[in-house]
Structure 1
Amino acid sequence: MKNKDEIKQEIYELAQKISGTSSDSFLLEAAREIYEKAVLLKHADENPSPATAKKEEQIISAPEEYIKPEILPKDPSEQSVKQTTIDLFSSETAQTKAPPLPPSPEKPAPKERKESKKKTTESVAEKLQHNKITDLKASIGINEKFQFINELFEGNMKEYNVAVDQINSFVSYSEAESYISNLEEIYKWQADNQIAENFKELVQRRFA
């Protein structure tokens, strides 16, 4: 069987002949021969000859020269340092106790801290809630305003404004209280109406 170099040379010669002729029949025949030789070349690559394979196997399986590592003699000074380090942590040294740490102050339980924080928050909120106000209309927020209009004045904004202005004009809480009693009868406020209670509380703060 021809080796790969011979097959490559034949393919090269056929290619040279093709470039120098214009005969269709010759071109067809030369192309067929080139194809066959290319198949042979591929087969030679995939299936090398036994001699070549054996040679490659011998190259691969050749054992490498084993170099035995050189064992250096131990340094006496190094061994002495190691022994000294071990002595530092001997049983006699381990018996030495560090001075006790002072006891840390006891921390309040989480529940106690939460209750203390809650009481502080509530006391601040109560103070803010019961602070005196000088202008009733200015102290009513937008959400409260619409609640009062819809729930206490049957959705009539004009009557709400008249009532608030009238309460602001009073000098004493007794005058405002009497006026609110009339409003309760006119608009039929329920005794358990929380929105009405909020409105009355604001009036009380106005005259606190």
Structure 2
Amino acid sequence: MSIRKQSTTLVLPGYQNSGAGHWQTRWEELNPAFVRVRMPDWDHPERDAWCRALDAAVAAADAPVVFAAHSLGCLTTAFWAAQYASAAQLAKVAGALLVALPDPGGAHFPRDARGFAPVPLKQLPFPTIVVASSDDPYGGVPFSQACASAWGSRWIDLGARGHINADSGLGDWDEGREWLDSFGPR
């Protein structure tokens, strides 16, 4: 009988980081296997710097790795997988929960974020789940569905939950944890 090794969950917040009350922060507080990827500049994100930070975090982690990404962290994951990661790095990834994809062409996309367009629209080399809200001001349902389809992701409509952040009232967000746990033991 083989025993599956517990995975490290790399937490990838979006623009301006995830603060107190955000489901990502709460998950980190509940489980020491959740590790936040520290980005060089949370307020002026640059794709290259963020993808290199993610690459370093994956290199430092023991396999398997799972991503819990929110907003710009989702786009960072897609760019990293499509343009930055080596085959060895990709082989470490067991899956990714991608929550609240922002649309770089949208009116509310942060103008301080550079290099996140056009979004790579090719199959991601690991299992993914895209979770969207029907009233997310940063990314609409058609955009998240198009990304999910191109990436080969399972797509989940969470209903009207805004940007699926601390303001969404999710608390510890048990349903999200169940989806994340579907990629393997935490």
TM-score, with structure 1 as normaliser: 0.23
- Of Structure 1 and Structure 2, the greater strand share is in 2
Q: Which structure dedicates a bigger proportion of its chain to helix?
A: 1
Bigger radius of gyration, 1 or 2? 1
